[in-house]
Structure 1
Amino acid sequence: MAKRLIPSFKRILVEKIIPPSKTNSGILLPEKTPKLNSGKVVAVGPGAWDRNGKFIPVNLKEGDTVLLPEYGGIEVKLGEKEYHLYRDDDILGTLHD
């Protein structure tokens, strides 16, 4: 049975996007290529209340591609897959095509 994690409060579960090390034709790409630290949002928490009692929902949704900080997040392993748990405030932005 596969486990599913629903983050608490303003937390976001992200699966990091790993850039390919080979092209489709089999050419190896050098490791020193600049990589973008990005990920795909897998699950989001409901949000949290501020000091005045106002509910603030998370501003991201499942499926969003986000820019992640270089450091931070908590590594979570569910089954064979690795994910990272971030606070909503730690996400640097969303990426669009």
Structure 2
Amino acid sequence: MTRGKGWGPYLLVLAGAAIGFGAIAMGLPAWAGSLVVAGSLLLGAVLRLVVPGGDENLLAVRRRRTDVVTYGVLGCMLAGVAASVAVQWMTGR
């Protein structure tokens, strides 16, 4: 484990995901909470890209490029699905 380094980005992403799932649990539409979780994943991709530090970053799973692409693709896919559900929900289909 690290000695206090790298906890900030990890906790930001974790808090964003928890807020998104909590919003769904409290009755918000699933697409709204999913957009928050998607934003959290995209924030994780950006933080993994810009925060210096090698193995001390708790967002690090593999190489930096692999992590950024993985977080980014998952975040974009989740945002796309949530947005398509939101459009259907708003139009009443």
Query: Shorter-chain-normalised TM-score: which range?
Result: under 0.3
Identify, as 1 or 2, the structure richer in strand: 1
TM-score scaled by length of structure 2 = 0.28
Identify, as 1 or 2, the structure richer in helix: 2
TM-score scaled by length of structure 1 = 0.27
